């Protein structure tokens, strides 16, 4: 028989590494394009930042014919090799005009992007020629293929130019347009509901009561979600009451893919998000070995009435920097994976630390830093999770391993905010 007291606290589960937590989140995220009504067709001009739901396959070669890469003259190399340096100009070929076959012993005046006439096998740039009346004299003997862009040099007919899962940048839209795509099949926008709990929260513009704080997280998270192209419903500040929280969860689950909250998932008497989610669905409370951050809640809320399935739930910590960093590292890739993006990991840089941090933390640290004019990194002096100033001052995060002190001059892993905000 055990001598342990019956009211002894349960042992805490070990903290998850950031890699373990991210892998679990991504493993649960099924792309919307695989579900019914998960895609839509948009005009290519309107598809910026959307995610392709199907491969874009080129129906043609690009360029669709041999074209001139220079202003100059199209020739048969054999005519110049034979020693004839002066040829009659038999035709003029601007871009967009169909040429006639090139007559032997003649040259064609041609312009950049114009179709090379049948029979020509090189272009001589105009700087290597001299025009004399209706003839042209060549001071250069070209090699076959010189200054000709071959048909299909950029894109071959039947090739996949943009795979499904590509997030459409301006240049990707241009590439799709270059093969004649007027419309694109894309994943629908991820629908996210967001709300905030805490009687201490006050909106800017309202008087700040004793003990109250302005709700900065509402503005930060709304901005982050919109940067990612989400369709956002903001339920605002929900009263610290269990029934109000449960009602908001039910309403949000009915029409959204993800419910995102900030704060209120601890076990305090006034923290009602945790019991509300457990009553309306399921919830796992994680402790992640990271700083700032650590607490993260992940689960789902059932859809009621005649609906089936559930909406995902993620609860972020309440401190503003913790909320910001955990969103970037976990919520962003989760949302991208829901959208069908295949590559969700941010690219990191190896940069020189121009500071010393004498002692590392036992957790994986994400330090706010910025690039200085010498190309090294400066550290924001106050790394507290409550100091939102650091996120505006900084250019990104140093991903510092647990228990690692940083010495000036060493190379560190730096993730720019430009890789994390979009």
Judge whether residue 100 has pLDDT over 60.
yes
pTM for the model: 0.87
CATH class for the domain made up of 39-62+156-187:
alpha beta
Q: What is the pLDDT of residues 20-50, one digit of tens each?
A: 999 999 999 989 888 878 999 999 999 999 9
**Pick the residue with more confidence: 272 or 224?**
224
Q: Give the tokens for residue 86.
A: 């002066």
Neighbouring C-beta atoms of residue 392, cutoff 10 Å: 9
- Average pLDDT (162-185) is 97
**Pick the residue with more confidence: 139 or 35?**
139
Could you state, in order of their start, the residue ranges of all structural domains in the chain?
18-38+189-339, 39-62+156-187, 67-149, 349-419
May I ask the CATH architecture of the domain 18-38+189-339?
3-Layer(aba) Sandwich (3.40)
What is d(CA 119, CA 332) in angstroms, rounded to the nearest whole number?
Answer: 56
CATH superfamily of the 67-149 domain: Molybdopterin biosynthesis moea protein, domain 3. (2.170.190.11)
The count of residues in the chain is: 422
Q: How confident is the model at residue 270 (pLDDT cuts 50, 70, 90)?
A: low
Neighbouring C-beta atoms of residue 286, cutoff 10 Å: 18
| C-alpha distances out from residue 111 to 64, 85, 117, 118, Å | 17, 21, 12, 15
**281-287 and 295-302 beta bridge pairing:** antiparallel
Q: What is the pLDDT of residues 246-261, one digit of tens each?
A: 999 999 999 999 999 9
Judge whether residue 5 has pLDDT over 50.
no
Per-residue pLDDT at 212: 84
Q: What is the pLDDT of residues 316-335, one digit of tens each?
A: 998 999 999 999 999 999 99
| C-alpha distances out from residue 76 to 32, 212, 300, 407, Å | 56, 82, 71, 65
Q: Give the tokens for residue 375.
A: 């190309």
Q: How confident is the model at residue 306 (pLDDT cuts 50, 70, 90)?
A: low
- Average pLDDT (361-371) is 97
Judge whether residue 226 has pLDDT over 90.
yes
Q: Is the domain defined by 349-419 classed in CATH 2.40.340.10? A: yes
Judge whether residue 6 has pLDDT over 50.
no
Report the chain's mean pLDDT, rounded to a whole number: 92
* DSSP assignment letter at 357: B
What is d(CA 341, CA 363) in angstroms, rounded to the nearest whole number?
Answer: 29
Q: Which residues contact 110 (CB under 8 A, 6 or more apart)?
A: 68, 71, 72, 73, 74, 93, 99, 116, 117, 123
- Percent share of the chain, pLDDT over 70: 95
Q: What is the pLDDT of residues 55-72, one digit of tens each?
A: 999 999 999 999 999 999
**Pick the residue with more confidence: 306 or 281?**
281
């Amino acid at each position: 028989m055990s001598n342990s007291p019956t009211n002894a606290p349960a042992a805490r589960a070990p903290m998850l590494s950031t890699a373990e937590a991210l892998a679990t989140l991504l493993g649960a995220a099924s792309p919307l394009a695989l579900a019914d009504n998960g895609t839509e067709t948009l005009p290519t001009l309107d598809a910026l930042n959307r995610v392709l739901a199907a491969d874009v396959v080129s129906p043609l070669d690009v360029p669709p014919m041999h074209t001139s890469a220079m202003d100059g003259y199209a020739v048969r190399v054999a005519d110049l090799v034979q020693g004839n340096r002066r040829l009659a100009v038999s035709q003029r070929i601007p871009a967009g005009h169909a040429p006639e076959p090139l007559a032997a012993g003649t040259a064609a005046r041609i312009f950049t992007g114009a179709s090379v006439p049948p029979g020509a096998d090189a272009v001589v740039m105009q700087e290597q020629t001299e025009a004399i009346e209706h003839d042209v004299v060549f001071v250069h003997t070209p090699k076959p293929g010189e200054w000709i862009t071959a048909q299909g040099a950029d894109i071959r007919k039947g090739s996949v130019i943009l795979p499904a899962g590509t997030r459409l940048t301006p240049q990707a839209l241009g590439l799709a347009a270059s093969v004649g795509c007027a419309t694109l099949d894309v994943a629908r926008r991820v629908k996210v509901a967001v709300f905030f709990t805490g009687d201490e929260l006050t909106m800017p513009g309202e008087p700040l009561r004793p003990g109250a704080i302005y709700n900065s997280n509402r503005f930060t998270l709304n901005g982050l979600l919109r940067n990612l192209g989400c369709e956002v419903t903001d339920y605002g500040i929900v009263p610290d009451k269990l029934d109000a929280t449960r009602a908001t969860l039910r309403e949000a689950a009915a029409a959204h893919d993800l419910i995102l909250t900030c704060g209120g998932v601890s076990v305090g008497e006034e923290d009602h998000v945790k019991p509300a989610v457990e009553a309306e669905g399921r919830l796992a409370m994680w402790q992640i070995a990271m700083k700032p951050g650590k607490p993260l809640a992940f689960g789902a809320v059932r859809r009621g009435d005649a609906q089936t399935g559930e909406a995902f739930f993620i609860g972020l910590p309440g401190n503003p920097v913790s909320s910001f960093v955990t969103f970037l590292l976990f919520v962003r890739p989760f949302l991208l994976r829901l959208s069908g993006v295949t590559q969700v990991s941010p690219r990191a840089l190896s940069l020189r630390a121009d500071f010393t941090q004498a002692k590392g933390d036992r957790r994986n640290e994400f330090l706010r830093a910025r690039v200085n004019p010498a190309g090294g990194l400066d550290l924001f002096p106050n790394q507290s999770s409550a100091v939102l100033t650091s996120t505006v001052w900084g250019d990104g995060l140093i991903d510092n391993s647990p228990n690692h002190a940083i010495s000036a001059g060493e190379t560190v892993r730096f993730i720019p905010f430009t890789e994390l905000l979009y």
